[in-house]
Amino acid sequence: MMKSERAKFGSKLGIILATAGSAVGLGNIWRFPYMTGENGGAAFILIYIICVLFLGMPCMISEFIIGRNAAANTARSYRKLSGGTPWMVVGYLGVLTGFLITGYYLVVSGWCLEYMYASIVGHLHGDPGFFKTYFETFETDPLKPVLWALAFVAVTHFVVARGVRGGIEKASKMLMPALFILLLVIVVSSCLLPGASAGISFLFNPDFSRVDGDVFLGALGQSFYSLSIGMGCICTYASYFGRDTDMPKSAVQIGVIDSIVAVLAGLMIFPAAFSVGVNPDSGPSLLFITLPNVFQQAFGGIPAVGYVVSLAFYALLSLAALTSLISLHEVSTAFLEEELKTTRRRAAIIVTVACGIMATFCSLSLGKYDCLQLFGTPLFSIFDFFTGQILLPVGGFLTCLFVGWYLPRKLVYDEFTNRGTLHSAVFGFYMFSVRYVCPVCIILIFLHQFGII
């Protein structure tokens, strides 16, 4: 029997939108605006963009090189290029990280669906205390959050099971433009509010007096995490790249899209928040407690506008979550499909069931189930901490060392330049970044988050 040819993305636009969709997620919508507000506004944005261009991009290109050259799932790619040496563990670590992230990310994604539904039926109106009670009651409910999470993984399964071109690429070409349209609708609505200029000024007038080492490390961490580095997504998608894909150019385009979404998220949140005198919080409280209150106050005078903005916002969150979950699901699906030598649909079913079970436990751990907690910490929070604070930095660090110090320089050069000379002039800078700058920065981020430096 002839071996079937490995699936490829069908167009350059599909590559950009699918990979950008992997990078653009809930972190762009809530974490970036909050960190921007806490770290000097425009000053933080400038530092963040520099970090994306000179540190995040080299790491992304490194995963591109591994995935496209090996043309296999993340674990097999590292195993193939490492020749079976201990370096292959990095690939398995990437698959594990992506799988574990899917478990708790599905829970938050389900929350987005609940709030989109609540916006449709008109439940999101009341005083600030109402929104806090509404979220806390829903979050600890033993049934509703689980059902929404399972609904989300079912939609994700439908896309991934249809394959690379018919599922992932096709969905990305619809979801990413829709995401941008919704984002622009809310940005325009927010910026037209009375007093919105104060929020715009806050976002774009740099306050360099607040810039210190913590701000630089915060920008570094946000740039690495927002580009989906270290969780297998980039490497897996790169395995579907054609030989004509310009990887440095693609990395720049994806980084630009990711940064634009993050800045637009700031324009969506700060003008509306300043308009009603509310300071944005961080985490779930921003998305599910503060912003519903902000939208109600800001657009309460025109109910139809408030309804549209609230619905558009939670539809936006759901789309951002879906594009990221598709890539996370694909990491595990591609791994099982190739390692178990089974069909894509069967592999997708296994991943969907496993992730659904994991999401169920993570969701229930936020309720009164002590058996799903460790030292009083919910399983949900443990997954979040272990993947975000440990596995992602370790995976990114080891990937840089693998590409910068282990892989043959000629292999890296050929992949980077597409065996041409177009990017040979900046190859030296790329190698310097991957060998020295990126590993050192990742170590600094890792130590800083534990208060060691």
How many Cβ atoms sit within 10 Å of the Cβ of residue 113?
A: 22
pLDDT (0 to 100) of residue 422: 58
Query: Domain-by-domain residue ranges, the chain?
Result: 12-449
Any idea what DSSP says for residue 277? T
Average pLDDT over residues 49-55: 86
DSSP output for 209-247: GG-SHHHHHHHHHHHHHHTTTTSSHHHHHHTT--TT--H
For residue 358, which of 384, 396, 324, 389 has the smallest C-alpha distance? Answer: 384
Q: Name the percent of the chain lying above pLDDT 70.
A: 96
Exposed/middle/buried for residue 390 (C-beta within 10 Å: 0-12, 13-18, 19+)? middle
Q: Which two tokens stand for residue 273?
A: 């928040």
In whole angstroms, what is the distance from residue 328 CA to residue 100 CA? Answer: 9
Residue that is written with structure tokens 């490497």 in the block: 235
Q: What does pLDDT average to over the chain?
A: 87
Quick: pLDDT tens for 165-204: 889 999 999 999 999 999 998 899 889 888 889 889 888 8
25 three-class SS: coil
Mark 41-71 as b/e (b = at least 16 C-beta within 10 Å): bbbbbebbbebbbbbbbbbbbbbbbbbbbbb
CATH 1.10.4160.10 holds for 12-449: yes
Would you state the pLDDT for residue 3? 45
- 251 vs 147: CA distance, rounded Å: 36
In angstroms, the CA 19 to CA 110 distance is: 22
Tell me the pLDDT tens digit for each residue of 65-106. Answer: 999 999 999 999 999 999 989 999 999 999 999 999 998 899
Query: Rounded CA gap, 107 and 435, in Å?
Result: 37
Q: Has residue 319 got a pLDDT over 70?
A: yes
Cα–Cα distance list, 165 to 11, 14, 98, 124, 155 (Å): 9, 8, 21, 38, 17
The DSSP string of 389-441 is IIIHHHHHHHHHHIIIIIS-HHHHHHHHHTTSSTTHHHHHHHHHIIIIIHHHH
Tens of pLDDT, residues 358-400 = 999 999 999 878 788 888 889 999 998 888 888 888 998 999 9
Q: What is the pLDDT of residue 432?
A: 94
- Residue whose tokens read 């496209």: 68
Give the pLDDT band (50/70/90) at residue 1: very low
Residue 130: strand, helix, or coil = helix
User: pLDDT of 404-449, one tens digit each?
Assistant: 999 999 999 988 887 555 567 789 899 999 999 999 988 988 887 7
Residue type, 94: G
The amino acid at 225:
Y
Whole-number pLDDT of residue 37: 78
Banded pLDDT at 2 (limits 50, 70, 90): very low
How long a stretch of residues is the chain?
453
**DSSP designation for 2:** P
> Tokens 């440095």 sit at which residue?
248
Which bin fits 230, alpha (ψ -120 to 50), beta or left (φ > 0)? left
